[in-house]
């Protein structure tokens, strides 16, 4: 997994904890976060595939990428690859929010 700033990792870890109901230690590495998320995904896929699909839709993860990972028998760690897709998408959202944040306006009403 690509290096990410600590504040992005912390925000992504909090998000994963809330979204996937996983216990995330206070000081976590990107690799450990990916592993924790992969374990949760494996459980979710095996017990409630429909919920997994709904979650992918809600998180805006391309179905074709996930289907390719799940259909490819040569992929040795499919849940980690899906977890990496999810984390990458969350990082894109964080970066997008940072890019488009406008802090020059005095209050929220004036932003409209």
Q: What is the pLDDT of residues 37-93, one digit of tens each?
A: 999 999 999 999 999 999 999 999 998 999 999 899 888 899 999 999 999 999 999
- For residues 56 and 15, the answer to whether their CB atoms sit within 8 Å is no
pLDDT band at residue 7 using 50, 70 and 90 as cut-offs: confident
Tokens representing residue 56 in the block? 């992918």
Tokens representing residue 73 in the block? 């028998």
pTM of the model: 0.82
- For residues 54 and 74, the answer to whether their CB atoms sit within 8 Å is no
């Amino acid at each position: 997994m690509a290096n990410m700033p600590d504040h992005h990792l912390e925000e992504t870890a909090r998000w994963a904890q809330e979204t996937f109901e996983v216990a995330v230690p206070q000081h976590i590495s990107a690799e450990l976060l990916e592993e924790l998320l992969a374990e949760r995904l494996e459980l979710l896929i095996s017990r409630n595939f429909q919920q997994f699909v709904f979650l992918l839709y809600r998180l805006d993860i391309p179905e074709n990428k996930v289907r390719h990972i799940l259909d490819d028998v040569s992929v040795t760690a499919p849940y980690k690859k899906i977890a990496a897709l999810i984390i990458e998408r969350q990082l894109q959202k964080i970066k997008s929010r940072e890019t488009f944040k406008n802090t020059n306006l005095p209050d929220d009403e004036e932003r409209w």
